[in-house]
């Protein structure tokens, strides 16, 4: 069974910070953020309207959320969706939580992505 997809109404950005920078904890007041820290960088995905001082940033990403809680034992749910999007020659960012997955595509590509997913049997809420 294919999960229902939800397009979140906000616009998102991904920002790169130096690994020595402090994580801006004011982000925790917002509904969807992803913070990944590695030896070389801190990457943050958040709403475009949230101010962040960063080395680099890419704005105007739309977010597609997989509805509901996905069982961690499920195989291939995300990869099937990503393959459909990749076949449209669209750049993709993803992040996951314990319960579900979030897919980010450039806002200007969202209509094309949605149509392709609908044609592949996915539904949107």
Specify the pLDDT at position 70.
58
CATH of domain 5-119: 3.30.2130.10
Segment 14-35 shows an average pLDDT of 91
Kind plus residue range of the DSSP H or E element containing 84: helix 77-86
Domain boundaries, the chain: 5-119
CB 96 within 8 A of CB 106: no
**Residue 64's Cα: distance from chain center in Å?**
7
Q: Say how far apart CA 82 and CA 17 lie, in whole Å.
A: 27
Q: Say how far apart CA 32 and CA 45 lie, in whole Å.
A: 8
Q: Say how far apart CA 116 and CA 103 lie, in whole Å.
A: 14
* Residue pLDDT, tens place only, 112-121: 999 999 999 9
* Residue pLDDT, tens place only, 28-45: 888 899 999 999 999 999
Question: Taking the CB of residue 102, how many other CB atoms lie within 10 A of it?
Answer: 20
Answer yes or no: pTM beyond 0.95.
no
Q: Say how far apart CA 95 and CA 33 lie, in whole Å.
A: 9
């Amino acid at each position: 069974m294919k999960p229902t997809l939800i397009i979140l109404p906000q616009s998102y950005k991904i920002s790169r910070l130096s690994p020595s920078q402090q994580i801006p904890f004011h982000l925790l007041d917002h509904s969807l953020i992803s913070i990944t820290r590695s030896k070389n960088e801190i990457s943050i995905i958040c709403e475009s309207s949230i101010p962040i001082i960063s080395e680099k940033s890419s704005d105007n990403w739309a977010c597609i959320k997989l509805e509901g809680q996905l069982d961690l034992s499920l195989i291939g749910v995300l990869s099937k969706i990503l393959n459909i999007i990749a076949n449209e020659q669209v750049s993709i960012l993803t992040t996951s939580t314990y319960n579900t997955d979030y897919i980010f595509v450039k806002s200007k590509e969202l209509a094309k992505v949605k149509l392709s997913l609908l044609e592949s049997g996915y539904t949107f809420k």
